[in-house]
Structure 1
Amino acid sequence: MGLFERYLTVWVGLGILAGVGLGLAAPGLFEAVARIEFAHVNLVVALFIWVMIYPMMIQIDLAAVKDVGRRPRGLLLTLVVNWLIKPFTMAALAVLFFEHVFAPWVDPASASEYIAGMILLGVAPCTAMVFVWSQLVKGDPNYTLVQVSVNDLVMVFAFAPIAAFLLGVTDVTVPWETLLLSTILYVVLPLIAGALTRRVWLRQGQTRLARGVAALKPWSVVGLIATVVLLFGFQAGTLVSKPLVIALIAVPLILQSYGVFFISALGARLLRLPHAIAAPACLIGTSNFFELAVAVAISLFGLSSGAALATVVGVLVEVPVMLSLVAIANRTRHWFPAVGRV
């Protein structure tokens, strides 16, 4: 591992501190950057995420993607965890903590909004960052692409009905422009760019491809750190003004992340999935499509609502939690066969 990858946790920690510090020192700058958005997708954050993902897309062999359908066990695990387990366990934890455990410190109206925001996070599995986590656990890039693509397809049909059922409302509207733009920016465009780059480099030989991938790899970490700085800079004022509320919301979100990860790991172990398939499958269910969750929370409950705040807290806790889960996934490599039934 290179210097960036070896000390990634340190760089992310410094990025968090830098983001909060800069956000407090220059709030106007971050407010201006936050306004550079379209369809609830911040274009500057999108650029940094694109920088993260593009080097990974070069490693995808599109000719091998078609063979993934012959190995459906990993896809089945992803779909079951993301759509039959994660949304309902998130709702259960949210209700447990904010209607019972934290009831003495949170008024009922605010509690119901926090619960709603957490439910929206639970129904929005991640699209973009999965490629980052997959690379960090040495996941199969071709299989990860299919897992993400199938997840996005299911999201088109399942997000609104499940969210409406768990929220107890009937007017959940999927912000199609957010979903479509995010998919194009985070999957389609970097995949096309990666495929073209891979084709050009392969014409010069496998050595050229390997050298190019190695040269671009640190940029994935640079994009991740820049994203962290921006996300924490955007919310620096909220972090300082509402630390207790943020801490309370973070508790069930963190428990959910670890719980879903270990449920997925158990399923992968029972299915005897190889680590290159099992690890990304475990991580897909633990991270969230925060643009979608934030957009729906704002449309349903308002920009300053507790629901919107809860989705933002989900963004803030995700990177540190996911890095810890990446470390666990790498240290439990021996739990899974190098080659298995997928």
Structure 2
Amino acid sequence: MSEAAKIGFFEKYLTVWVLICIVVGIGVGFASGDSITVLSDWNIATVNVPVAILVWLMIYPMMVQIDFSSLKYVSQNWKGLGLTVVVNWLIKPFTMAFFAYIFFYHLYGAWMSPGDAEQYLAGAILLGAAPCTAMVFVWSYLTKGDANYTLVQISVNDLILLVAFVPIVGLLFSWFDISFMNGSGEIIGIPYNTLISSVIIFVVIPLVAGYLTNRILIKSKGQEWFENQFLRRLKPISIAALLLTLVLIFAFQGQKIIDNPIAILLIAIPLTLQTYFIFFVSWFVGRFLKLKHNICAPSAMIGASNFFELAVAVAISIFGLNSGASLATVVGVLIEVPVMLSLVALANKWKY
């Protein structure tokens, strides 16, 4: 794997930047007062325009790295790929919802209103149904995973995401009776149109654009230039877009956080437990299947990590910038790097 895949300064300290964004966002919210609602009301259909632009700038640099020509190697290491598919799509979404439900509705009953519990559960469901994409390149590199296998599993994961994300989210929203309201405050059914349009806007379009960019630039400039020059230049754009999105979210969430500062900790606990649980399931099943370390490690990492950019974008599109669901997905961003780095250390310690 190229040098561009190494975890960079900004990625390594992502949690620090998120904490700074919390402070800056709350400050911006208080300084702007009601005028900041101009941004929250700038919507086309159900999609907030400023957030859509920022999220697209986050996701596109990740999608550029996907190479679907790698799918010709799909038959190689089929056990590891099968493990990835089963854990990502048949186990993880449901265990995430289970952990969130137990904590938000029962264990936190004394500290959390039913409305907040429902919103936080919705955000957790969106995180659980969106397994990681590009960051797996980083986790795989740090655990000395097989680069070709990692590329194949990410490509397969993205293709499954296109067709599985909406029905899984819809099913879990229905199971837990998540409520939705239209602009008039009337309760409506699950907004499948919004879910589908979100996948098209935040997955399909950047995925196609990224793939075409990948093919065109590698053909014209070469693989080395693409990895060591182009991808490096895109990284700051992706990080800046992520941080600006978080500032916007916390600008609207500021009063809620000040009124209930323990909310972030309460949300983080079940999300963290879920991450470790999925890693251990994948890791020990991989060991049982006698997968090599360089296959087992990235197989465990892709399920443990989340495609939080998509989860944040969909939460905002469905529930709004100042919703509890959006806050829950942002907490997913907050814990992502420190938790995953601890799992990287564990995988390296258990190398066999």
Corresponding residue to 1:282 among 290, 304, 326? 304
1:312 Cα deviation from its structure 2 partner:
2.3
More deviation, 121-130/326-335: 121-130
In structure 1, distance between residues paired with 2:341 and 2:65: 22
Contact 1:250 1:313 in 2 (8 A): no
- Residue 163 of structure 1: aligned partner: 173
1:150 Cα deviation from its structure 2 partner:
0.8
More deviation, 20-29/166-175: 166-175
In structure 1, distance between residues paired with 2:344 and 2:224: 27
Corresponding residue to 2:231 among 213, 227, 231? 213
Q: Residue type matched to 2:169 in 1?
A: F
In structure 2, distance between residues paired with 1:118 and 1:178: 19
**Could you tell me the percent identity over the aligned residues?**
27
Instruction: Indicate whether 1:54 and 2:60 are aligned.
Output: yes
Give the gaps of 5 or more residues in structure 1: none
In structure 1, distance between residues paired with 2:348 and 2:267: 34
Q: CA RMSD in A?
A: 3.7
1:22 Cα deviation from its structure 2 partner:
1.9
Give the gaps of 5 or more residues in structure 2: 1-5, 142-146, 180-187
Count of matched residue positions in the alignment of Structure 1 and Structure 2? 324
Q: How does 1:184-263 map to 2 (within 5 A)?
A: 184-202=204-222, 206-207=224-225, 209-245=227-263, 247-263=265-281
Distance of aligned partners of 1:99 and 1:282 in 2 relative to their CA distance in 1, 3 Å threshold: closer
Distance of aligned partners of 1:197 and 1:33 in 2 relative to their CA distance in 1, 3 Å threshold: farther
Deviation readout 1:162-212 (Å, 9 max, x if unpaired): 43234399953423323332223443333333433333322xx63465333
SS for the counterpart of 2:305 is: helix
Q: How does 1:289-308 map to 2 (within 5 A)?
A: 289-293=311-315, 295=317, 298=319
In structure 1, distance between residues paired with 2:157 and 2:350: 19
1:231 Cα deviation from its structure 2 partner:
2.6
1:37 Cα deviation from its structure 2 partner:
3.4
In structure 2, distance between residues paired with 1:142 and 1:20: 41
Q: Residue type matched to 1:191 in 2?
A: Y
Contact 2:268 2:335 in 1 (8 A): no
More deviation, 327-336/142-151: 327-336
Instruction: Indicate whether 1:152 and 2:162 are aligned.
Output: yes
- Residue 10 of structure 1: aligned partner: 16
Q: Residue type matched to 1:314 in 2?
A: A
1:320 Cα deviation from its structure 2 partner:
1.4
Distance of aligned partners of 1:320 and 1:181 in 2 relative to their CA distance in 1, 3 Å threshold: same
Q: Residue type matched to 1:197 in 2?
A: L
Q: Residue type matched to 2:138 in 1?
A: L
Deviation readout 1:59-95 (Å, 9 max, x if unpaired): 3333223323544444433443344333443444344
Contact 1:19 1:231 in 2 (8 A): yes
Q: Residue type matched to 1:184 in 2?
A: V
Q: How does 1:124-135 map to 2 (within 5 A)?
A: 124-125=126-127, 130-135=132-137
Contact 1:57 1:191 in 2 (8 A): yes
Instruction: Indicate whether 1:85 and 2:91 are aligned.
Output: yes
In structure 1, distance between residues paired with 2:106 and 2:60: 44
1:317 Cα deviation from its structure 2 partner:
0.6
Contact 1:20 1:236 in 2 (8 A): yes
In structure 2, distance between residues paired with 1:262 and 1:156: 27
Deviation readout 1:106-135 (Å, 9 max, x if unpaired): 4xxx42x44433443344347889345224
- Residue 330 of structure 1: aligned partner: 344
Q: Residue type matched to 1:43 in 2?
A: V
Contact 1:128 1:187 in 2 (8 A): no
- Residue 144 of structure 2: aligned partner: none
Q: TM-score, normalising length from structure 1?
A: 0.75
